[in-house]
Structure 1
Amino acid sequence: MVPRIASPRFLALAGTVVLWASAFPAIRVGLDGLGVAALSFLRLVIAALALTLVAPLAHVRLPRRADLPLIALCGATGMTAYQLLLNWGEIHVDAGTASLLISIAPVFSVLLGTLFLHERLRRTSVVGSLVALAGAAVVSLAEGAGGFTGSAPAVLVAALVQGVYHFASKPLLRRCTGLEVATYTMTAGTLFALPLLPAACRAAVHAPAGALLSAVYLGLLPSALGFVIWAYAVARLPLATSTAALYLVPPVALVVSFLWLGETPHPLALAGGAVGIIGVILVNRRPAHPADSPTPLAQGAVRA
């Protein structure tokens, strides 16, 4: 029986793509009134609180003591550092362009797995990595056409730390659900971000309503709800379907950024982004043996 596109699992997958894509323009809105530090902290703490409240209903177990070092690493990189770097980068990089740069995060995850987990590096992974990195370089050049800034490199470093997160979360995902890993690491990321609390309080007092609503939106929907419905979808859909849907995040982010912010990306950035996505598709190609295929979260979800 062919699964219906309107079934809850497909709707959850589509909702995840839209939520994660919409996060990129929402960041631009939040930055205008809150700044990098405050927006990063508020998004993390709101998401962590929401996931903690959902945890008993979703039967999220307490983490094992032996997993705490990995959880700390994932929280520090994939949550705290990622938010700070992406938010800083989006001060000057268009939201849609940022989504194109972030999309190469799985490349870093694969390379790290090869270096530290002794995973076999296939020919398609090598070619795909080179293609994706070349595409990212083209996007960065397009962003620097009006004068070099550190913003595009900051977004690329955000993709790198996101790759570290996916690499480090692989052992956790063998023992825990995707939602459990998200809850643990989001909480850890919030703890690492606590030094930003004074700046967040000062900025929140004077921030316009739109910026505060953006922070709430980012924390509750793309971060918290996005992970909940993503976990629901990947538990009920084939790996290939879930992974393929992630390639839609950058195109959807470009559309949402155009409709919401009126952003029109540089043609060179679009060309580089298309090349980068092709590279990531090559990297994520897996042998036809289920045992050799990681979970989609291990491959790398393109999220903001």
Structure 2
Amino acid sequence: MDQQAGDPRTDRRALAAASLTVVLWASAFVSIRSAAAHYDPGALALGRLLTASLALGLVLLVKRVPFPPRGAWPGILASGVLWFGLYMVALNWGEQQVDAGTAAMVVNIGPIVIALLSGWLLKEGFPPMLLAGMGVSFAGAAVVGLSTSKGGSSSVLGVLLCLLAALTYGAGVVAQKPALSYASPIQVTTYGCFTGTLVTLPFAGQLLEQLPQAPLSATLNMVYLGLFPTALAFSTWTYALSRTTAGKMGATTYAVPATVVLIAWIVLGEVPGWLTLLGGAICLAGVAVSRQRPGRPPARAAS
């Protein structure tokens, strides 16, 4: 089922799906701000995953999607535990301990982890343009992080939690890629989400306790996180991942910091400073570089 990006049409479809993922994941940061003020990290992760599991489970029933084959399960379980489960709890908790700028810089180690692990374990190699683009994008993410950092509000625990989030995110993506050779994107996403929900079930008591006390806006934001940045965005992610390399997909997520800045500007009226805008532009430039194919001859002018 795995389709590599040899066909330009396939690559365009993958890029479109990845772009939707980036926008939805960026919007999640705005929703998390509201929900995290009223839900503990584990409770928020469980509520988000329960919502996503219900939506994706309904899709499975309506489309009568079969059970994933045996060969897909190692990747599904690994990505479910690492990415859907541990990542979401660690990120929610870490962002309570450090400022947003520090969190963004540390978590953006994730795509580098993806490139290294996929190059080694998945035999994708280390394309020079991909590595160069990731280097440029990471520099841009660091600029965005520095420009939005409040300073003095970081803790060792918070940095370690964000680092754990980056590592589990990277490892989860690399585990997901082989599963797509056996199962469809909707199967890999849905059963990975089910697995993450089981991992976060120990926080059910917290969720039941905090649900009646939280304002409606916080709960609606948690539901939004489940339906769109999780159920929909993870589905478009796996669709794109099945059609391109894990390294390229990881590099594409460097567009998230720039998109977060834009959404916060439009939705929250948070006007970014020039340094933030510069960092966002560098991130996008790096993504463009990472998706270039070396050795392509320049287009000939029409005569």
Q: So what's the TM-score if we normalise by structure 2?
A: 0.74
Q: Which position in structure 2 is the counterpart of 1:50?
A: 55
SS in structure 2 of the partner of residue 119 of structure 1: coil
Q: Distance in 1 between matches of 2:178 and 2:80?
A: 15
Decide whether the 8 Å contact of 1:104 with 1:277 is kept in 2.
no
Q: Which of 25, 31, 37 pairs up with 1:26? A: 31
Q: Distance in 2 between matches of 1:78 and 1:230?
A: 13
Distance 1:85 1:268, change over 3 A: farther
Decide whether the 8 Å contact of 1:74 with 1:164 is kept in 2.
yes
Q: Distance in 2 between matches of 1:187 and 1:14?
A: 25
Q: Which position in structure 2 is the counterpart of 1:71?
A: 76
Q: Which position in structure 2 is the counterpart of 1:190?
A: 197
Distance 1:14 1:172, change over 3 A: closer
Distance 1:280 1:11, change over 3 A: closer
Q: Deviations over 1:271-293 (max 9, x none)?
A: 3444344334434444689xxxx
Amino acid at match of 2:32: I
Q: Which of 32, 36, 42 pairs up with 2:41? A: 36
Q: Which position in structure 2 is the counterpart of 1:302?
A: none
Q: Deviations over 1:110-134 (max 9, x none)?
A: 1111232333212223323333333
Structure 1 residue 209 corresponds to structure 2 residue 216: yes
The more displaced of 28-37 and 272-281 is 272-281
Q: Which position in structure 2 is the counterpart of 1:110?
A: 115
SS in structure 2 of the partner of residue 174 of structure 1: coil
The more displaced of 72-81 and 57-66 is 57-66
Mark the structure with the bigger radius of gyration: 2
The count of residues paired between Structure 1 and Structure 2 equals 279
Q: Which of 149, 169, 176 pairs up with 2:176? A: 169
Q: Distance in 1 between matches of 2:199 and 2:216?
A: 26
Q: Distance in 1 between matches of 2:73 and 2:210?
A: 32
Q: Distance in 1 between matches of 2:36 and 2:145?
A: 21
Q: Which of 259, 274, 282 pairs up with 1:275? A: 282
SS in structure 2 of the partner of residue 32 of structure 1: coil
Q: Distance in 1 between matches of 2:224 and 2:261?
A: 19
Amino acid at match of 2:63: A
SS in structure 2 of the partner of residue 146 of structure 1: coil
The more displaced of 272-281 and 169-178 is 272-281
Decide whether the 8 Å contact of 2:43 with 2:203 is kept in 1.
yes
Q: Which position in structure 2 is the counterpart of 1:129?
A: 134
Q: Which of 234, 258, 265 pairs up with 1:258? A: 265
Amino acid at match of 1:28: R
Decide whether the 8 Å contact of 1:18 with 1:249 is kept in 2.
yes
Distance 1:156 1:234, change over 3 A: closer
Q: Distance in 1 between matches of 2:183 and 2:87?
A: 22
Q: Distance in 1 between matches of 2:174 and 2:275?
A: 30
Distance 1:248 1:143, change over 3 A: closer
TM superposition shift of 1:36: 1.5
Decide whether the 8 Å contact of 2:177 with 2:241 is kept in 1.
no
Unaligned runs of 5+ in 2: 1-8, 297-303
Q: Distance in 1 between matches of 2:168 and 2:274?
A: 27
Q: Distance in 2 between matches of 1:247 and 1:142?
A: 16
Q: Distance in 1 between matches of 2:230 and 2:43?
A: 16
